[in-house]
Amino acid sequence: MVDSDDKDQDVFATPSEPTKGAAAPSEGDSGWDDDVWGDEASPPDKRTVMLVQIGLVVLIVLIVGAVVLVKKGDKKDSNEKASGGSSQTTAAPGGGGDTKDATPQYVWPPDVGGRPPAFGTFNGTPADAKGGAEPGVYIWSDYDGWHLWVQNGGDINGVSGTVTGNDNIASAAVLPADGGTATKAATVITFDLKGDDPIVGLDFNPGFYAVKLDFAINGPNGPIPATEIHLGKEMTPAATSPLSIEKVLSN
| Same-domain check for residues 39 and 145 | no
Structural domain harbouring 118: 108-249
Low-confidence stretches of the chain (pLDDT beneath 50): 1-2, 4-19, 22, 30, 32-38, 78-97
Does residue 93 lie within any of the structural domains?
no
Q: 202 and 128 in one domain?
A: yes
The verdict on residue 73 lying in a domain is: no
Residue 26 lies in a domain: yes
Does the residue 125 lie in any domain? yes
Of 63, 95, 117, the one marking the end of a domain is: 63
Same domain for 234 and 115: yes
- Domain assignment present for residue 72? The answer is no
In this structure, are 49 and 155 located in the same domain?
no
| Full-model pTM | 0.61
User: Are 124 and 225 contained in the same domain?
Assistant: yes
Q: Which of 10, 28, 63 is the last residue of a domain?
A: 63
Question: Do residues 130 and 219 share a domain?
Answer: yes
Q: What is the pLDDT of residue 198?
A: 96
Whether residue 116 sits in one domain with residue 57: no
Asked if residue 176 belongs to a domain, the reply is yes
In a domain, 77, yes or no: no
Is residue 190 a part of any domain in this protein? yes
Pair 155, 237 in one domain: yes
pLDDT of residue 87: 33
Judge if 49 and 156 occupy the same domain. no
Shared domain check, 145 and 205: yes
**Number of domains present in the structure of the chain:** 2
Residue pair 46/54 in contact (Cβ under 8 Å)? The answer is no
Quick one: CA torsion of 8, 10, 13, 17, rounded to 10 degrees? 110
126 and 231 together in one domain: yes
Shared-domain flag, residues 124 and 201: yes
